């Protein structure tokens, strides 16, 4: 016998299945092939000779003289004596007891890192035909792969042998003689007894129940100061495919990272494990066997028992216990005056994500960002990162999301749960006032302060008089308002605090300095 693509010819000792039609008898009438060994005396001598050299699907018209048929005796009631017999023969199948499984690989992928071994679990598609090409079954028609263990008796022996050594993506023809298939009895449904079977197989997937995940590092940044650990919160992009390359999901298509804790059971076990030890900016491939993925049932468009391939790009990660990180790149020689709560700061910054994506820049806008430190005018992490900084200093402040913009982020600007990187240069610092004060005197306070404010001497101070006086003291350097706030609003609040009864004017009885108060007021 040759390979599947060669014709097979009958010879002595071969078992053949054929249909025949003659005047007296027909296998077509019985709807059953005639099955027999050739050259072993199971046929009349003429038929034994006539079948030699036939191949499957060949049709012959055979004329047999009486001496090579039933002779002068004939067959009582069926074949008269000395009859010449005519047979119309179509050969359906042929095999020999010495045959083995035949394998013809007609496609093999360039990369074949792993092949099927005994006890592996495989997912494959197939078309099943007889030797004459008649289709008896197809997984393609059911639109579902055939999923099974190999080499442990779950398949017919010939298929168990024929699948060994295949790699994912390979396509092969497996021809199986009946004694390694369904034998004399067939399967009782679609496959007759003594039928050779031909399977056209495409392997989609394979794994072993003992498999763990496999990791292939694609890109690892040269500078990897920190690797992810259990309990960290990661933001990453991924493409998800099956082993044969079939796409099932992508964070890129949603234009949004997948954000999750790792090592805490929030994702499938294989990804939980595969994301440990990554660097920011790293790209890796994680291959997850089904028992560490979605198991036998699958999920959505992921079939049951499927091996999953994730191509991961880590954007950033942090731990909920993280605080800010400060790296000072430059300090001027005189760095004695350091920023503190209440100081008014003017600074430039570039804001980016950990992967380098630029979010914002005051340099690009051409103006500084101005705040009063410690009054909630920036995110908490920035407020912390600007402290104890001197004018001219340059530093990088890394802010975890719980000290930045949190899970929500800023719509259209800052992704949720993003770690932020600020490159800062402090340009100006105006010292603030002592905590609790919005106005202070720079020298001795006049003993006749109320009278000085009450210029018309009517014993009542209106807001206009109060405001004019305070601004005059600031202009002359005798007093100071808290920097960075609306001066008119501060003065108005000071006046309101002195106007005890809320009648819009302050009397001498209402007027008190701060050290005369039992609670803080502005004077």
* Separation between Cα atoms, residue 506 and residue 487, nearest integer Å: 20
In this structure, what are the phi and psi dihedrals at residue 124, rounded to the nearest 5 degrees? -145, 155
Output the pLDDT for position 41: 84
Beta-strand relationship, 135-138 and 121-130: antiparallel
Give the percent of the chain with pLDDT over 70: 92
Contacts of 356 (CB under 8 A, 6+ apart): none
- Return the CATH architecture of domain 214-318: Roll (3.10)
- SS in 3 state form for 236-249? EEEEEEECCCCEEE
Of the candidates 57, 62, 89, which has an alpha carbon nearest to the alpha carbon of residue 196?
57
Domains 214-318 and 439-507 belong to one CATH topology: no
Separation CA 362–CA 389 (nearest Å): 18
pLDDT digits (tens, 9 = 90+) for 200-234: 999 999 999 999 999 999 999 998 989 999 999 99
Take residue 386 and report the two structure tokens written for it: 């600007």
Strand partners, 441: 479
Judged against a pLDDT cut of 90, whether residue 101 lies above it is answered with yes
Query: Computed from CA positions of residues 342, 348, 352, 354, in that sequence, does the dihedral angle turn out positive or negative?
Result: negative
92-99: average pLDDT: 90
Three-class DSSP category at 403: helix
pLDDT of 27: 59
Contact indicator for 459, 507 with CB cutoff of 8 Å: yes
What SS3 state is found at 98?
coil
Rounded-to-integer distance, Cα 191 and Cα 17, Å: 13
| Strand 460-461, strand 479-481: pairing | unpaired
Mean pLDDT of 117-126: 97
Is domain 325-430 given the CATH code 3.10.50.40 in the classification?
yes
* pLDDT value of position 6: 23
What residues pair up with 167 in beta bridges, in sequence order?
115
Does the pLDDT value for residue 323 go beyond 70?
Answer: yes
Please, which residues bridge with residue 240 across strands?
A: 249, 310
Q: How many residues does the chain have?
A: 523
Place of tokens 């010495």: 98
Q: What's the mean pLDDT when you consider all of the chain? A: 90
Residue 514 DSSP one-character state: G
Angle value at C-alpha 254, between 235 and 287, nearest 5 degrees:
60
Question: 76-104 burial string, b = 16+ CB within 10 Å, else e?
Answer: eeebeeebebebebbbbbbbbeebebbbe
Superfamily of domain 439-507: EF-hand (1.10.238.10)
pLDDT at 25 over 60: no
Dig out the tokens for 269 from the structure. Answer: 């076990």
| 161 pLDDT above the threshold of 90 | yes
pLDDT-derived band of residue 34, with 50, 70 and 90 as boundaries? confident
Residues 6+ apart with CB under 8 A from 374: 340, 341, 342, 383
Confidence band, pLDDT 50/70/90 cuts, at residue 42: confident
Q: Is residue 1 a contact partner of residue 96, using CB atoms and an 8 Å limit? A: yes
Domain boundary assignment for the chain: 10-96, 102-207, 214-318, 325-430, 439-507
Dihedral sign from CA coordinates of 187, 191, 196, 198: negative
Domain 10-96 has CATH 3.10.50.40: yes
180-190 pLDDT tens trace: 999 999 998 99
- Does residue 7 have a pLDDT over 70? no
Q: 102-207, what's its fold? A: Chitinase A; domain 3 (3.10.50)
**What letter would DSSP give residue 518?**
S
What one-character DSSP code corresponds to residue 472?
Answer: H
Q: Give DSSP secondary structure letters for 201-256.
A: EEEEEEE-TT---EEEEEE--S-------TT-EEEEEEEEEETT--EEEEHHHHTS
């Amino acid at each position: 016998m040759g390979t599947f693509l060669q014709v097979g010819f009958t010879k002595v000792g071969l078992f053949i299945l054929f249909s025949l039609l003659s005047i007296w008898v027909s296998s077509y009438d019985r709807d059953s092939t005639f099955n027999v060994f050739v050259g072993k005396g199971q046929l009349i001598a003429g038929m034994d000779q006539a079948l030699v050299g036939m191949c499957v699907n060949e049709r012959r018209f055979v004329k047999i003289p009486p001496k090579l048929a039933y002779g002068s005796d004939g067959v009582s009631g069926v074949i008269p004596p000395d009859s010449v017999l005519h047979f119309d023969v179509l050969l359906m199948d042929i095999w020999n007891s010495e045959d083995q499984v035949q394998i013809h690989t007609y496609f093999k992928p360039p990369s074949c890192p792993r092949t099927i071994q005994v006890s592996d679990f495989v997912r494959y598609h197939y078309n099943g035909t007889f030797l004459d090409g008649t289709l008896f079954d197809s997984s393609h028609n059911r639109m579902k792969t055939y999923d099974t263990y190999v080499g442990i008796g779950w398949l017919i022996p010939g298929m168990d042998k024929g699948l060994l050594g295949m790699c994912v993506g390979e396509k092969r023809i497996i021809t199986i003689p009946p004694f390694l298939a369904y034998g004399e009895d067939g399967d009782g449904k679609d496959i007759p007894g003594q039928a050779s079977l031909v399977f056209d197989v495409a392997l989609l997937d394979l794994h072993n129940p003992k498999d763990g995940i496999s990791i292939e590092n694609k890109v690892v940044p040269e500078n990897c100061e920190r690797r992810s650990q259990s309990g960290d919160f990661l933001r990453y992009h991924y493409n998800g495919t099956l082993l044969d390359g079939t796409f099932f999901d992508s964070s890129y298509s949603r234009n949004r990272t997948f954000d999750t804790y790792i090592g805490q059971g929030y994702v499938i076990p294989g990804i939980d494990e595969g994301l440990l030890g990554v660097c920011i900016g790293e790209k890796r491939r994680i291959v997850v066997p089904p028992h560490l993925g979605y198991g036998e049932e699958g999920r959505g468009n992921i079939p049951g028992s499927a091996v999953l391939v994730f191509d991961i790009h880590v954007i950033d990660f942090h731990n909920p216990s993280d605080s800010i990180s400060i790296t000072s790149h430059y300090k001027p020689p005189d760095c004695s005056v350091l920023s503190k709560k209440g100081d008014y700061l003017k600074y430039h910054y570039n804001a980016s994500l950990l992967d380098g994506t630029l979010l914002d820049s005051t340099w690009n806008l051409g103006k500084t960002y101005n705040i009063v430190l410690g009054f909630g005018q920036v995110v908490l992490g920035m407020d912390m990162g600007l402290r104890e900084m001197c004018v001219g200093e340059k530093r990088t402040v890394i802010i975890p999301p719980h000290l930045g913009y949190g899970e929500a982020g800023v719509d259209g600007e800052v992704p949720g749960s993003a770690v932020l990187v600020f490159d800062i240069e402090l340009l100006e610092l105006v010292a603030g006032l002592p905590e609790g004060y919005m106005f202070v005197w720079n020298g001795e306070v006049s003993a006749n302060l109320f009278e000085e404010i009450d210029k018309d001497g009517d014993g009542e101070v209106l807001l206009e008089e109060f405001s004019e006086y305070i601004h005059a003291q600031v202009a002359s350097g005798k007093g100071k308002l808290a920097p960075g706030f609306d001066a008119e609003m501060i003065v108005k609040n000071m006046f309101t605090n002195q106007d005890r009864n809320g009648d819009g004017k302050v009397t001498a009885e209402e007027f008190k300095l701060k050290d005369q108060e039992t609670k803080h007021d502005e004077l």
